Structure 1
Amino acid sequence: MFIVPRVGPLLLFVLLAQLASAAELRVPENYVTLQAAIDAAAAGDTVVVEPGTYTERVVLKANVTLRSEGDDLQGKLGLKRAEATIIDGGKEQGSGAGVEMAEGATLDGFTIRNVGIYDDNEWKTHHASQGDNQLYEHIGAPGVVGIAAVGATCEIRNNIVYHIGDSGIGIVGVEGKMCSPLVENNVCYRNMGAGIGSMNGSRATIRGNTCFENFYAGIGHSSASPLVVNNVCYGNVRAGIGISDDSSPEVRRNKCYRNRRAGIGVRTGSDTRPLIEDNDCYENEMAGIGVSENAAPTIRKNRCYRNKLAGIGVRTRATPRIIENECFENEESGIGQMGGTETVLIGNYLHQNNRSGIGFASGKDGKSHVENNRVIDNALVAVGINPGWTVDLVGNELSRKDGLPPIVMVFAGSVATFKQNVIRGGGVAGIRVAGTVVAANNRFHGTALRKVGPPNFAIWGLKGSTVVMTDNEVTGWRHALHSAEGHVNARRNSARKFHRAVFVIEKPASEPIVSENEATTASPSDQICLIDNKPSREDANKLIRSDQR
């Protein structure tokens, strides 16, 4: 049984009075201008506007709705009624925003254009240079926008905003006032700021908008933390979504593609800590997701592919947590990191990238923890660690089906620790070392043992390298370790399916330690260790003939 709640006589009277007093004011039938109708409206009223071009700038009143006439049929770019009902700011002729929102007000279904000066030549110049010469101080600065929501909880829906001298839609918080505007289903393009700019503590919901070819970001943040969900941002001069200056938005389920810089760009300060989750970033001119300048985002469960640089790129002292993303078919790395950054990479799937799955570029003081990632079938290396890095790799799968390069390359001036990884494939080495490698409890599975020709070593130590191997399982490589003019400590490793010797050491730089290792072989001539082509002393190593098993 449906029960109607009881309402007191006074409350019922107020509700009925509000319903009775809500009016519909029509433009131009009742009022010639939009502003005249708004000025005449009371709280709860709706101003309905017939199709046409209205050359004015308007200021809404609290709890008043300004709506274009018609239904919600889709047109070429936005709703048909929005395309047909135009608020023209007159370029330089007016002052203030095209539409200034108020508390509780709604703007629904208009085209807003020509507020300030749109400069097509300047747009083209900076588009060609990927925004390299833009005045970055302009980002986050107040300006005259197409639609302004300053300290107001309001609704901005179904509008088309273009050719604005600043941002298309500007959302600004006010200190000491909690406001949460809804910005939904708008189209913002070819504006001289961001498509949508969120600033100064704004906590808006920005949902289902399309922002393209704007002078800065499609959706930009400066000291703001909105919810940004289900938007499409493409072809913008900078990032599809730009996050800076202590902003911590939640950025979920957006599509950012073919932007001139990153799909999603995060920068400026350790208090810039967004959550970037479940987005698609592809075919951008730089990284799919780019992080720089001390920013500390959490980047989780995104898909970054076919970008011109890395799927996820990190530089200039950034400290992101990068978790469970899929990065593939990028021109450079799946995840690429510059020196001086400190990263955590957990559970990512990195495959079919045109250089490395995970790349660590040369620099100073780089640190990374790399755990439980699946890094397979990248064109050159699964992991490349250049000088200046200290990297811990734990529990990863690092593999490539074929190809000549090593699966992992550790350059001079870097230190890498490998624990409990599976390193699988062919090529010249599982790990090629010019720096320092500590490898413990890993499984090296060679897929194409090569007895002659190019090297085929589980670990290949170059001149000056240091290799510490303990408790590893090595199968199907010519040698478990080949070291020339390096430092070697190899203990308690096991090997099968090798050729001639498990360990081959040439001109050691210090007295090598090779002890307590075990190997299984069918050849009577095989050795545990050859030092300068001579069998080494036993040191408790154990060679087991396969017929003894």
Structure 2
Amino acid sequence: MRLTSIARLVSIIISAAPLCEGAVLLVPDDHLLIQGAIDSAAEGDTILIAPGTYEEETIDYRGKALLLTSEDPTDPEVVAATLVWRYSGRLFQFVSEEGPGSVLAGLTLRARRGGATGVYCRRASPTIRLCVLEELAGNDEAVAIHGESSSILLDRCVVRNCHASSGAGIIMLSGEKATIKGCVIDSNYSYLSDIVSIHTDSLEIIDTRISRSTRYATGLGIYSKVFKIVRCRIEENDDGGIAGVSGDGQEGYIEDTAIQNNTTTLGAWGAGLYLYGSNKVVLNRCEIRGNVAQSYADGFADGGGASIYSYKPNASVVFNDCIIADNHALGGFRARGGGVSVTHRLARFNRCIFTGNSASGWGPATGGAISSSEGATVEMIGCVVSDNRSEGQWAGGAGVVTRSRTLLSNSILTGNYAAGWNTAAGAAISVTDVGDVDIDNCSIEGNWLSNPDTDTDSGGIFCNGGELRIANTILWNNEGQELLAPLGDLTVAYSNIEGGWPGIGNIDTDPFFVCRGELDLLLPPASPCVDAGDPLSIDALFDRHPRWPAWFPNASRSDMGAYGGPCNGTWVGLDCVHYP
């Protein structure tokens, strides 16, 4: 039988143009069993399956490039009515080096008891498109899709309500490449394993949602050498959203992706995003929001939104234009990095917003927005850090806490709050131990403390060790002291410090902050901070530049505060090329 008009429509929908010259075999009209149709089919044929319930032993493609599809894979009612199921075992398998031309489309796959796998692949590269895999359960193999040494394309599939009591989780793919496009992976149960676990050389996930995993299950575990995640939603997973773990050589990109409302309690690290050992990862225009890392009573929580950890040399992560908001690290013994925690690694934040994050617990609670420690290097350029909290026995750095190398440039820290039962210090920034910190062209205003002691507490910056260098910066209207440094080596120059501070070019005068559009803490023409920064530092964009939001003519010398200096173009989307 030649290709019918229905099959022609299917071939267009499935984009299986090479199959258009093959024959069409009908199930059950021509063959009662799907396996019988496959055995009779030739390369390039289409097997068209009518609505019904099909219970067979494992269906094997036998190495053939053919399209096996329901009558209309784009109609959810047709897909639901075309059901392949069995009590246990594999429903479909590709084990004879099938390629992308081996297409499974528009079917619902389901099993009734444990030990089931929807699709099993070994050394094959099939295409699975517009299928629903549901209510599958098993132990050893991944219950929905298990790929070994394979390159699989999952296109617009739904995987839901599957149950893995141990082992490989719901989807496990290994081999050369994995591609997941337009899929929904929702409401699956996997005990102590990833819902989606990828071990391929390369991975691409596009327009996909991975959500509502349960029973200590991470939504997405990435163990690939190269990965790219674009326009995805990773949300409401029970033991973390994304975990990227590798040895040497991993490179990854996450773009336009929402990582939100994930939780973790077992080893409470990075409820939204956990990167361990990954070499180079870049996040562009992502939103990390509402994630919670909560430890047990005697444990600790590190990185409510993200935890970045690596001993690997040259390991780095870069956040560009990201929003990190309303994340929480809730610790027993210790809580740090409500938004992000960085350990032993370079992390750079360009034009990012940190707001509404918190670190809290009965022990030390530090870094409501961001915490860096133990050999990390953190660079923040053009960031807004606002309304973050640290609450604990000892609370510090509701905005930023650091005991490592930190560079802050052209950033705003405002409205951050530190509440300590014993001590609260440095609501905006806290530098401790061996911290080595440069703060250049920042505006630090309106940060506050619980029960501030004006002699011993600082709502602005607290330095209790290490080295701290401040230049071209404004500290104004913070509770307690603006700047407190009982220990450490402190240098301040060309800065406006309320109450005054010794150093070349420093002043103590109201900056007259104004707000225009979405930019806060701008300087009006009458501000004493205009053209008052280091005379050797030049504004990249002068205030008379046509792209500048608060236009007025003045000189090129750096202004004090967040909108001056060689990196001030970051506020209108220009990359900073002058900063180290």
Normalising by structure 1, we get a TM-score of 0.70
Change (3 A) 1:53 1:30: same
**Structure 2 residue aligned with 1:465:** 488
Q: What pairs with 1:226-265 in structure 2 (closer than 5 Å)?
A: 226-236=203-213, 237-244=216-223, 246-265=224-243
Q: 2:505 is matched with which residue? A: 492
Classify 1:203/1:235 alpha carbon distance in 2 versus 1 (closer, same or farther; 3 Å). Answer: closer
1:421–1:118 CA distance, 2 compared to 1 (3 A): farther
Give the secondary-structure state (helix, strand or coil) at the position aligned to 1:494: coil
The number of residues matched between the two structures is 427
User: Compared with structure 1, are the counterparts of its residues 480 and 334 closer, same or farther at alpha carbon in structure 2 (3 Å cutoff)?
Assistant: farther
User: Contact (CA 8 Å) 1:261, 1:285: kept in 2 or not?
Assistant: yes
Q: Match of 1:260, SS?
A: coil
SS at match of 2:324: strand
Alignment-derived partner of residue 343 in structure 2:
339
- Distance verdict in 2 for CA 1:337–1:365, change over 3 Å: same
Instruction: State the match for 1:456 in structure 2.
Output: 480
1:266–1:297: 8 Å Cα contact kept in structure 2? no
User: What's 1:123 paired with?
Assistant: none
Kindly indicate whether residue 205 of structure 2 is the aligned counterpart of residue 208 of structure 1.
Answer: no
1:170 to 2:146 alignment = yes
- Which of 332, 356, 370 is matched with 1:359 structurally? 370
Which of structures 1 and 2 has the bigger CA Rg?
1
Contact 2:286/2:323 (CA < 8 Å) preserved in 1?
yes
> 1:173 Cα deviation (Å)?
4.8
The yes-or-no answer on 1:407 pairing with 2:409 is no
Aligned residue in 1 for 2:380: 370
Paired-residue identity, %: 15
Residue 227 of structure 1, CA deviation: 1.9
5 Å-filtered alignment, 1:440-455, equals 440-447=470-477
SS of the equivalent of 2:249 reads coil
> Are the structure 2 counterparts of residues 181 and 34 from structure 1 closer, same or farther at C-alpha, using a change threshold of 3 Å?
same
Shift of 1:250: 1.0
Cα 1:432–1:440 change in 2 (3 A) is closer
| 8 Å contact from structure 1 (residues 416, 437) kept in 2 | yes
Cα pair 1:173 1:202 within 8 Å, conserved: no
Indicate if the aligned counterparts of 1:98 and 1:115 stay in contact, CA closer than 8 A: no
Contact 1:27 1:47 in 2 (8 A): yes
2:221 counterpart letter in structure 1: G
What letter is aligned with 1:359? I
1:161, distance to aligned residue in structure 2 (A): 4.1
Question: Displacement of 1:370 after TM fit?
Answer: 2.1
Q: Give 1:306's match in structure 2, choosing from 290, 293, 299.
A: 290
- What amino acid sits opposite 2:159 in the alignment? V
Cα 1:231/1:149, change in 2 over 3 Å: farther
Other structure's SS at 2:259 match: strand
Residues 1:183 and 2:163 aligned together: no
Contact 1:470 1:493 in 2 (8 A): yes
* Alignment match, 1:45: 45
Given that 1:266 and 1:290 are in contact with CA atoms closer than 8 Å, whether structure 2 keeps it comes out as yes
Deviation for aligned residue 1:344:
1.9
Q: In the alignment, is the contact (CA less than 8 A) between 2:388 and 2:416 conserved in 1?
A: no
2:400 to 369, 376, 384: 384
The answer for the alignment partner of 2:263 in structure 1 is: 285
**Residues 358, 384 of structure 1: 8 Å contact kept:** yes
What one-letter code is carried by the residue in structure 2 that aligns with 1:91? S
| 1:435 positional shift | 1.6
Distance verdict in 2 for CA 1:22–1:339, change over 3 Å: closer
| C-alpha separation in 2, matches of 1:91 and 1:229 | 31
Is the alpha carbon distance of 1:296 and 1:342 closer, same or farther for their aligned partners in structure 2, counting shifts above 3 Å? same
Deviation at 1:252, TM superposition (A): 1.0
Q: Take 1:109 and 1:435, find their aligned partners in 2: how far apart are those partners? A: 63
* Structure 2 residue matching 1:204: 3-state secondary structure: strand
> How far apart, CA to CA, are the structure 1 residues paired with 2:388 and 2:338?
9
Shift of 1:419: 1.3
Q: Give the conservation status (yes or no) of the 8 Å contact 1:375–1:382.
A: no
**Distance change >3 Å, CA 148–CA 211, structure 1 → 2:** farther
Is 2:327–2:339's contact at 8 Å kept on the other side of the alignment?
no
Deviations 1:403-451 (CA, angstroms, capped at 9, x unpaired): 7752111123322111111112143331011023433323324236xxx
Give the distance between the partners of 1:148 and 1:257, measured in 2 at CA: 28
- Relative to structure 1, the CA distance from residue 21 to residue 425 in structure 2 (aligned partners, 3 Å threshold; closer, same or farther) is closer
* Kept in 2: contact 1:231–1:254 (CA 8 A): yes
Is the CA contact (8 Å cut-off) linking 1:82 and 1:160 kept in structure 2? no
- Residues 471 and 20 of structure 1: CA distance in aligned 2, closer, same or farther (over 3 Å): closer
C-alpha distance in structure 2 between counterparts of 1:258 and 1:19, whole Å? 40
Structure 1 residue 328: Cα displacement: 0.7
Cα deviations by residue, 1:314-334 (Å, 9 ceiling, x for unpaired): 124363222221011111345
Unaligned runs of 5+ in 2: 1-17, 265-270, 294-303, 330-336, 360-366, 391-396, 449-457, 512-527, 530-580
Task: Show the counterpart of 2:25.
Answer: 25
Confirm whether residue 431 of structure 1 aligns to residue 407 of structure 2.
Answer: no
Query: SS at the partner of 1:225?
Result: strand
Q: Which amino acid counterpart does residue 308 of structure 1 have in structure 2?
A: V
Whole-Å Cα distance in 1 between the matches of residues 30 and 416 of structure 2? 74
Counterpart residue number, 1:15: none
SS at match of 2:69: strand
- Deviation by residue 1:61-103 (Cα, 9 ceiling, x = unmatched): 5331111245633xxxxx22333333234425xxx66332732
Q: Does the CA contact (< 8 Å) of 2:399 and 2:416 recur in 1?
A: no
Residue equivalent to 1:109 = 106
The two structures, once aligned, show a CA RMSD in angstroms of 3.1
Letter of the structure 2 residue corresponding to residue 196 of structure 1: I
Q: Which range moved further: 413-422 or 435-444?
A: 435-444
Supply the distance in 2 between the matched residues of 1:393 and 1:25 (Cα, whole angstroms): 67
Which residue pairs with 1:296 in the alignment?
280
Any idea what the Cα deviations from partners look like across 1:187-239, whole Å, max 9, x if unmatched? 24424334333322114343333243242333321133232011111122432
What are structure 1's unaligned runs of at least 5 residues?
Answer: 1-17, 74-78, 120-143, 449-454, 482-488, 499-518, 521-549
CA contact (8 A) 2:472 2:494 kept: yes
User: Does the CA-based 8 Å contact 1:239-1:259 persist in structure 2?
Assistant: yes
In 2: Cα distance, 1:223 partner to 1:211 partner: 22
